[in-house]
Amino acid sequence: MLSGQFSVISLVNELWQFRQEQTIRKWRKKMKKLVLIMLLLAFVGVSVATAADVVVYENSKGNITFDHKAHQEKLGGDCSKCHQGEPAKIEVNKDYGHNVCKACHKDMNGPTKCNDCHKK
Ligand code: HEC
Ligand code: HEC
Ligand code: HEC
């Protein structure tokens, strides 16, 4: 009789603990998801902001920083100075840097010396 009562109590106890563990596990899963979503949002937010404003090209000669926003402002918002048609991604490489970027700098008194663009 006494042991029967005891085992009912411990069964209830066990069930209660099991339920709690399940709840914690579910919570953990939810938190993990939430943290992942937040990280993703933070990452997307940061990459959108930097892609539009400032781009840094890592380079053995010294990194080049292209301030897209400052250029837009300096050129009076005239996108067609650099973009043909609908503005989109431009592949910036050595040729582009030393021909297109530099050519306009020559015309408009922008920086043309190596370490004006390449910063160590
Ligand atoms: C001085 C030249 C210059 C001017 C002026 C300019 N852009 Fe750009 N733009 C670039 C370059 C270079 C890139 C490529 C940057 C990179 O390497 O990601 C670019 C990239 C872009 C992209 C693609 C961004 C991406 O990462 O996919 C968009 C959109 C864009 N420009 C819009 C504009 C608009 C709108 C204007 C006018 C208000 C403008 N640009 C004016 C040079 C210019
Ligand atoms: C259509 C003209 C034009 C093009 C194309 C252009 N620039 Fe410029 N850039 C300018 C002008 C104008 C200045 C500012 C000169 C001043 O005000 O002192 C400038 C300034 C700069 C500066 C000095 C820092 C700053 O932001 O004032 C850097 C670095 C630079 N440009 C990098 C680049 C790179 C890299 C590219 C190519 C991906 C590029 N530019 C393409 C016109 C241009
Ligand atoms: C108007 C800005 C500008 C000037 C001025 C400039 N460069 Fe560059 N340079 C660039 C850009 C942009 C790239 C391409 C970066 C990339 O591909 O990531 C580049 C690429 C290079 C590379 C290729 C390195 C590599 O890792 O691929 C060398 C080397 C180089 N430049 C040397 C020079 C030298 C030397 C001078 C001076 C005579 C000079 N540059 C002047 C913008 C400039």
For the chain, give every domain's residue range.
1-53, 58-119
* pLDDT of the residue at 63: 97
CATH fold group of domain 58-119: Cytochrome C3 (3.90.10)
Stretch among 30-34, 47-51, 84-88 having the lowest mean pLDDT: 47-51
Give burial (CB, 10 Å; 0-12/13-18/19+) of 69.
Answer: exposed
* pLDDT of the residue at 43: 64
The average pLDDT across 75-88 equals 94
Q: Whose CA is nearest to atom 17 of ligand 3?
A: 93
The average pLDDT across 71-99 equals 95
Amino acid identity, position 84: Q
Stretch among 46-50, 53-57, 112-116 having the lowest mean pLDDT: 46-50
pLDDT of residue 38 exceeding 80, the answer is no
Q: Tell me the percentage of the chain whose pLDDT exceeds 70.
A: 87
> How close is the Cα of 32 to the center of ligand 2, in Å?
44
Q: Residues 93, 40: contact at Cβ < 8 Å?
A: no
Pocket test for ligand 1, best of 78, 90, 94, 101 (most atoms within 8 A of CB): 90
Q: How confident is the model at residue 47 (pLDDT cuts 50, 70, 90)?
A: very low
